[in-house]
Amino acid sequence: MKTKKPNKNLFFLIKKYLSILNFSFREVVYYPQKLQSTVIIVPFRIMVLLAVYTYTFNYVGKTVNGINASIAVWSIAIYYILLFAQFRGIFKTINDEIKRGSIETQLNKPYNYLVYKFWEHLGKGLPSFIISFVIVIPLLLFFTKGLPIDLSIERLFASVILIVGGSLVSAALYILISLPALWIDDAQPFFWVVDKSILIFGGAYIPVALLPQSFQNLANLTPFGAPMFATQMFNPSFIDNWLTLVLIQLCWTIVLFAFVAFLFMKAKERLSVNGG
């Protein structure tokens, strides 16, 4: 009886895309100009927010909806750390390559164009994500006198799952809104709408848990809140809700990538008809 040999093509593909991630990671590390702004800007934002929320909670009360100043600051800090694990930059790359007409030549390369861009931007974002994490977490531990809530294994595991799921939703969103550039020349207005929506529904300046329940429900159900669900990891109700949040992320990932696949197929047809 013949044994089934492993699919060498699959191993080759995995190795190829991991090498893309590795190359992009090393490129950012070797040319760290952008990392310098991360070292300066992110801690500055966190310190300002820490001062604002500490004063605000002391003025209006120690807690709001079960959230205190420490939880609020940690939630927003996690937002800005996760921002580097998002795929905002992939929109600009695809949009610019479509505008320049260079996307046509890349479609003939021996790789899937969108998968290549996914791994490329994942590699580019990892250095800033790691540096912001290493800088911000000790800073918060010092000024807030420790974690705002006990970090159990379940809570940590759920947070990691939500970080991964949020990154996938983010990638699908920003890729999806970049592809219409083939029809309208510049998809920048789509970026403005989606990016600001994630800022609002993700809790960039005000944690979602501090807002009215109707807004929380809307934020949790839209794809704009899904990339930043991990910011809720210190909320008192997180353990009860995390599985629902994971399922929402999974649904949006499937739906959005299905639209991406459909739109990319139509895009390739358009390029082929136009002689690309």
- For residue 30, is pLDDT > 70? yes
pLDDT for 10 equals 67
Return the H-helix or E-strand segment holding 147: none
pLDDT for 252 equals 96
**pLDDT per residue as tens digits for the range 66-92:** 788 888 889 988 998 888 888 988 999
pLDDT for 4 equals 47
Q: Report the phi/psi class of residue 3: left, alpha or beta, with left for phi > 0 and alpha for psi in -120 to 50.
A: beta
Identify the residue with better confidence: 47 or 153: 153
Token pair for 108: 């003939």
pLDDT for 167 equals 94
Which residue has 């996914």 as its token pair? Answer: 118
- For residue 200, is pLDDT > 70? yes
State mean pLDDT over 242-250: 96
Q: What distance in Å separates the CA atoms of residue 270 and residue 185, rounded to the nearest whole number?
A: 13
- For residue 39, is pLDDT > 80? no
Q: What distance in Å separates the CA atoms of residue 20 and residue 22, rounded to the nearest whole number?
A: 5
Which residue has 């960039």 as its token pair? Answer: 204
Q: Confidence band (pLDDT; 50, 70, 90) for 1?
A: very low
pTM to 2 decimals? Answer: 0.87
Identify the residue with better confidence: 228 or 5: 228
Identify the residue with better confidence: 17 or 193: 193
